[in-house]
Homo-oligomer: A and B are copies of this chain.
Amino acid sequence: MKQLTIIKIGGNVIDNSEKLHQFLLDFTALPGDKILVHGGGKIASELGVSLGIEPKMVDGRRITDIETLRVVTMVYAGLINKNMVAQLQAKGCNAIGLSGADGNVIKAVKRPVGKVDYGFVGDLDEASVSVATLDSLLKSNLIPVLCAITHDGDTQLLNTNADTIASAVAVAMSSSYETRLVYCFEKKGVLRDVEDELSLVPEIRRSEFESLQDQGIVSGGMIPKLHNAFEAIRQGVKAVYIGKADELAQIDTQGFGTRLTA
């Protein structure tokens, strides 16, 4: 099977134009088929503020009301996605920017109203990703660049977590490719000592995950991150990497961040 790398970047890369430039160079240089998934960054919140849209929070969680959906559609699918694609094109990468509506690439379900009404937020299931469309784009030598906007197939756009999109794409594409999923975040990876970047744990197998939790090496926000990563591996993804965007270039040589495997 051909190898496919799915890379997710978030605000810490997007908001820093130098970091973003270097990352896009490294992404372009990465051999083989690849897909980029990007989140939002500060620009959406700033635009919301300029337009007088107050961020709505319930129990500390952000709500996507109709006004906020308009803003994130403009910023994620328009401003960020198109500028990123134009930069990739200039670097020789034949990128094509997509929301989930484009080619029906990611179809989501509006999150049901429970204790909290999250508004226009989309959740994914096994049938969400159109493998056929992504596959035909890759076969046409186009590099998909996905933003965190999906649709419900019934005219409604939805705001969807970019980590979740990256993971769902990696799982779905595992039927046709040997996939690896790369999460770029602000740390070098899983660290034995959060203060010490030299304490990187280079590899974690699923069987070791529990013991690392017991030892407190994996804690806090890392627990759900790693849990989701191992879940993707259980569903067919070959490896999940968690590390720093600026080290992407060495993924096939010295390795990149923490590598999670079955």
Contacts and interface: CB of A to CB of B under 8 A. Distances in A.
Nearest to A50: B51
Interface string A197-213: 00000000000000000
A8 to B, nearest CB: 20
A11 interface: no
A153 interface: yes
Contact of A73 (B78, B94, B98, B102): B78
A104 B133 contact: no
Interface footprint category on A? 35 or more
Q: Is the interface of A mostly helix, strand, loop or mixed?
A: helix
Contact of A89 (B47, B140, B153): B153
Given A50-B51, A99-B97, A140-B140, A74 B85 contact: no
Contacts of A156: 86
Nearest to A105: B96
A89 B101 contact: yes
A99 B85 contact: yes
Contacts of A90: 153-155
A151 B86 contact: yes
Nearest to A70: B79
Contacts of A154: 90
A76 B73 CA distance: 11
A142 interface: yes
Nearest to A102: B96
A137 interface: yes
A82 interface: yes
A166 interface: no
Instruction: Find the residue from A76, A78, A83, A137 having the highest chain B CB count within 10 A.
Output: A78
6 contacts: A77-B77, A77-B78, A86-B156, A90-B153, A95-B102, A96-B103
